[in-house]
Structure 1
Amino acid sequence: MSGRGFRLSIAKIFKRVLLAVLALVAIAAFGIAVPRPLWYDEPALAKHSHRILVLSNPIHTDIAIPVDDDLMARFGFLRAAGLDLDNPNLRYLVFGWGGRSFYTETPTWADLKVEPVLKSFTLDQSVIHAELAGAIPENAPAVTVLSIDDGGLERLKQFVLDSLAQADSGPVSLPGSNYGENDAFFEARGYFNALMGCNTWTAAGLRQAGLTSGLWTALPWMLRLSLSLHNARDRFAASLSSTE
């Protein structure tokens, strides 16, 4: 191949890579900027008195719900999985959804294996991860504080419950798959795929709670940015409640 032909080949490769990058940027921007739902028929004066948290790492998000008597009663089945709901330091129940293979086999980045990663890009059985948490600093970089009303909190709790697969005896736990003493895995409804995965589940739960997310938020930073973009009213409500 001549020098000129080689330069033309490199130019074509660069152009294709650039077009692919621009397409990904455009898709991400579209997914963040387009709200879902397009509108929300909530009374403008609804009191957003409950603060929930979205916890994120580079690839995954969880929803932290503050404990109250109703939450403890409805999620009492966690006791059967060995979780100490009577711990006096308990402040939140934290829930996340994901692919069974990757989620249960990768408690830390050091445990990352090729097979679970590849499975996450096809179809995998899904699981719910439930974890007990104490006080969580709301100003931590990985924490997003959101304010919802009574109806939103009720719908969010029901969304998590509806995400669990059910047997005659209730939710189905996965003994031995937990990371430690304060968490447990359960069979979940649906199948996991990296394009419609844990962060789109989190977004769906937040929409049930009355919040607005982006149309498609496959990564935590996309979800956080869309929440910030579309929920100015709720951030204002949260700031008011923090001063009361």
Structure 2
Amino acid sequence: MRHPTAEKVSMATTAIKWLKRSVVASGAIIAAYLLAALAGSLLPANQDWQSPDDGIELFIETNGLHTGIIMPIWSDVHDWTPLVRPEHLQAPSFYGSHILVGWGHAGVYRNTREWSDLHARDAISAVFGSDDVLIHVYHLKYPQAYPFYRRRLIVSEAEYRKIATAIEARFVLDDHYRSQPSAGYGKDDLFYAANGHYSAFYTCNNWTSDVLQQAGIRTGRWTPFQGGVMRWFPESAE
């Protein structure tokens, strides 16, 4: 008959082995994900795209975590005022000439302005997937390009129409075809009810690239991180 102490040692040894295997497997999965993200961000979609000499001025912006697209509130091509209204803001005077629009996981968006703010429950939900998503809209007044976080992008009128159509499709409307705003971080931003499915394989940054890809604009094929988006809009292009 095996001694009870020996039995406990054997069980502990087995548990340690399984723990080591789990750590190794988790590390391999994370490494594979990061390598895939790097490869996806380097492989171009719409490789032959060229920015027109004359067109609509947009910007691609990052805060180090999320990316988004800056567009004029109104132009001859598209009008955002039916969805993004001055009265949605607590202080309508903050209504801008342009809007910065992003899409993402509701918990991460509301609770994580910087990486240090990330909650474990939001991270787990984001990784494994959630339909709890939002559109985030910042109001800006006559934005300019900045080297590190805001890059200028000129697109044709036809390309901008496709961008606007793709973004509009993410807004959830009520029975009267109105967008559904809720409070943002401050006086110049709002969240809007949105549709879509967020996961580790389709992040806020994937969404930015996806919108641009649908319009035929060159960007990375798979860009779960902000750096994979921004690399396609270099400072020298400003």
What range describes the TM-score normalised by the shorter chain of this pair?
0.7 to 0.9
Alpha-carbon offset, residue 83 of structure 1? 6.6
Name the residue aligned to 1:113: 119
Q: How does 1:77-226 map to 2 (within 5 A)?
A: 77-79=83-85, 80-82=87-89, 90-107=96-113, 111-124=117-130, 125-175=132-182, 177-226=183-232
Name the residue aligned to 2:14: none
Q: 74, 77, 80: which one pairs with 2:80? A: 74
In structure 2, relative to structure 1, the CA distance for the partners of 1:85 and 1:207 (3 Å cut) is farther
**What TM-score do you get using the length of structure 2 for normalisation?**
0.74
**What TM-score do you get using the length of structure 1 for normalisation?**
0.73
Alpha-carbon offset, residue 19 of structure 1? 6.9
Q: Deviations over 1:55-105 (max 9, x none)?
A: 1122210110133345784333322422767768x3311100001111123
Q: Which sections of structure 1, spanning at least 5 residues, go unmatched?
A: 1-8, 229-234, 240-244
Matched, 1:36 2:83: no
Rounded to whole Å, the distance in 2 between the matches of 1:154 and 1:68 is 12
Cα RMSD between the aligned structures?
3.4
Rounded to whole Å, the distance in 2 between the matches of 1:119 and 1:59 is 17
**1:149 is matched by which residue type in structure 2?**
S
Count of residues paired in the alignment:
217
**1:81 is matched by which residue type in structure 2?**
H
2:102 aligns to what SS in structure 1?
strand
**1:150 is matched by which residue type in structure 2?**
E
The answer as to whether partners of 2:205 and 2:224 remain within 8 angstroms in 1 is yes
Alpha-carbon offset, residue 52 of structure 1? 0.9
Q: Percent identity at matched positions?
A: 20
2:196 aligns to what SS in structure 1?
strand
Rounded to whole Å, the distance in 1 between the matches of 2:202 and 2:214 is 17
Rounded to whole Å, the distance in 1 between the matches of 2:31 and 2:150 is 30
**1:153 is matched by which residue type in structure 2?**
Y
In structure 2, relative to structure 1, the CA distance for the partners of 1:50 and 1:85 (3 Å cut) is farther
Rounded to whole Å, the distance in 2 between the matches of 1:105 and 1:75 is 27
Matched, 1:27 2:36: yes
Structure whose CA Rg is larger: 2
**1:179 is matched by which residue type in structure 2?**
Y
The answer as to whether partners of 2:64 and 2:114 remain within 8 angstroms in 1 is no
Q: Which sections of structure 2, spanning at least 5 residues, go unmatched?
A: 1-16
Rounded to whole Å, the distance in 2 between the matches of 1:123 and 1:19 is 20
The answer as to whether partners of 2:73 and 2:80 remain within 8 angstroms in 1 is no
